[in-house]
Amino acid sequence: MKKVILIFCVLSLLIFIRPVLGLGTNSNTSNNTLNNTTITALQVDDAPQQESVFNAAFDGIKKFYGYTGFANVTSGNLIMILIGIIFIYLGIKFDYEPLLLIPIGTGVILGNIPFVAGNQTGIYEAGSVLNYLYFGVVKGIYPPLIFLGIGAMTDFSSLIANPKLMLLGAAAQIGVFATFMGALYLGFNLPEAGAIGIIGGADGPTAIFLSSKLANGVNILADGTTVKNLIGPIAIAAYSYMALVPVIQPPLMRLLISKEDRKIKMKPPRAVTQKEKMIFPVVALLLTLFISPSALPLLGMLFFGNLLKESGRTERLADTARTKLIDIVTILLGVTVGASTQADIFITKDSLLIFGLGAISFVIATCGGLLFAKFMNRFLKGDNKINPLIGAAGVSAVPDSARVVHHEGLKSDPSNYLLMHAMAPNVSGVIGSAIAAGIILSFLG
């Protein structure tokens, strides 16, 4: 450290005495000119020369300071940096979706470091590294790759064994359409409201995919107005509520489901053959995409990933999709989505409204799944009854909502294991939110 300080002092001294030593003069000047210059320099008073040297040095320091973050910081930057730190803290301290919140939190900090525009630094500046990485978000490239990895790590056995639980995943999508109506009421136009509505599905990749198509700040409406760029607020809201599943859902479960119903034990699901597992992704792919062709990038990759897993012949590809590939894409997606929250773009009235709608939609989706599960029990008898708690897993926050359901069931009865049962509506929620996104895109895209 002492050597570094010494070198810095020597360089500074050389910079200051350079004009005095005349090192800036032309070496090719004739001897007569050099002699005349020397005589003239000796005749000039030292005081003005020293003053000009210090003025030049001060101007250099001032110019350097103007390029630092200290000179360009705003209160909005500080607020967003604090939010980024909170995200990282929640991911590390409380284990709230650390694979998402830590990259997003870091991205929020990176996106709000103050800088001078025009140096290809910010994520919205053409030619910057972050702008190139952000291309995968704006064009909807990252979400299908995430779905590929999810498909390669998902076991659909519980859904195949008990197909009626798919209805719970469909029921939870009420949050999507309720939020859509709420966004329209608050003054958002149709494409923006559609992109905001998908937050109710509690599926980050789907929310990013749909907002990149409908609320990207590029599309022009029939009346000539340009839609707002809401990708950042929508993505942050979706991932935030996914991470807060252990906080939001348990109180709603205890509020809507009686203690007796929480103790209902479901019969073990039947064994599913390997042949059924191989056939399922092909049949599901055809069925869902014939219903919602616009969801092809998401559902196509989801079921393709699952086929890689279940075929038994492509284990190496499946392993790459569910480990290395999804990890890399998660890093890029988290950092770029976080960096897109520049204070001058993110801290707006619209962002606050989106977060409010997101919270309401997540509550509505959870309640929709819980209440529909109770409704289904009216038509089921004996050991065919389902534990209404699993309705909360209809939101597509995989696998956190299924884990929350399982833990809540254990609190009521330590011998009641609901995890495998809850995974059926959970994966149905993933499929349901993608179908909902495809339907919205078909009408509004």
At 288-347, the pLDDT tens digits run 999 999 999 999 999 999 999 999 999 999 999 999 999 999 999 999 999 999 998 898
- Cβ-defined contacts of 359-362 (< 8 Å, 24+): 359/241, 359/248, 360/178, 360/179, 360/182, 361/175, 361/176, 361/178, 361/179, 361/182, 361/197, 361/199, 361/200, 362/175, 362/199, 362/200, 362/202, 362/241, 362/248, 362/395
Q: Is the predicted pLDDT of residue 33 greater than 50, yes or no?
A: no
Q: Is the predicted pLDDT of residue 38 greater than 60, yes or no?
A: no
Q: Is the predicted pLDDT of residue 47 greater than 70, yes or no?
A: no
The amino acid occupying position 84 is G
User: Could you give phi then psi for residue 120, rounded to 5 degrees?
Assistant: 55, 55
Q: What is the DSSP string of 50-108?
A: HHHHHHHHHHHHHHHHHHSHHHH--HHHHHHHHHHHHHHHHHHHS-SSHHHHHHHHHHH
User: Which sequence spans correspond to the domains of the chain?
Assistant: 121-444
pLDDT band at residue 45, thresholds of 50, 70 and 90? low
85: tokens are 């730190």
106: tokens are 């870091």
pLDDT band at residue 40, thresholds of 50, 70 and 90? very low
Q: Is the predicted pLDDT of residue 424 greater than 60, yes or no?
A: yes
What is the pLDDT at residue 388? 96
Sequence-distant (6+) residues with CB within 8 A of 222 are: none
CA-to-CA distance for 75 and 276, rounded, in angstroms?
57
- 26 compared with 261, residue with greater pLDDT: 261
Peptide bond preceding 399: is omega within 30 degrees of 0, i.e. cis? yes
**Average pLDDT value for residue range 233-259:** 92
326: tokens are 């999804």
The helix (H) or strand (E) run that includes residue 397 is none
What is the pLDDT at residue 44? 47
What is the pLDDT at residue 17? 41
What is the pLDDT at residue 13? 43
CA-to-CA distance for 28 and 31, rounded, in angstroms?
9
pLDDT tens track for 54-70: 888 888 888 888 888 88
What is the pLDDT at residue 96? 87
What is the pLDDT at residue 329? 97
Q: Is the predicted pLDDT of residue 11 greater than 80, yes or no?
A: no
pLDDT band at residue 26, thresholds of 50, 70 and 90? very low
What is the model's pTM? Answer: 0.85
Q: Is the dihedral of CA 187, 192, 193, 199 positive or negative?
A: negative
- 81 compared with 396, residue with greater pLDDT: 81
Distance of CA 139 to the CA centre of its chain: 15
CB 193 within 8 A of CB 206: no
Percentage of the chain with pLDDT > 70? 89
CA-to-CA distance for 171 and 150, rounded, in angstroms?
22
Average pLDDT, the chain: 87
**Average pLDDT value for residue range 114-129:** 89
Alpha helix (H) ranges present in 94-200?
98-111, 129-138, 142-153, 157-161, 166-171, 174-185, 190-197
CB 430 within 8 A of CB 203: yes
Cα–Cα distances in angstroms (integers) from residue 171 to residues 102, 168, 228, in the given order:
31, 5, 30
pLDDT tens track for 214-223: 998 888 888 8
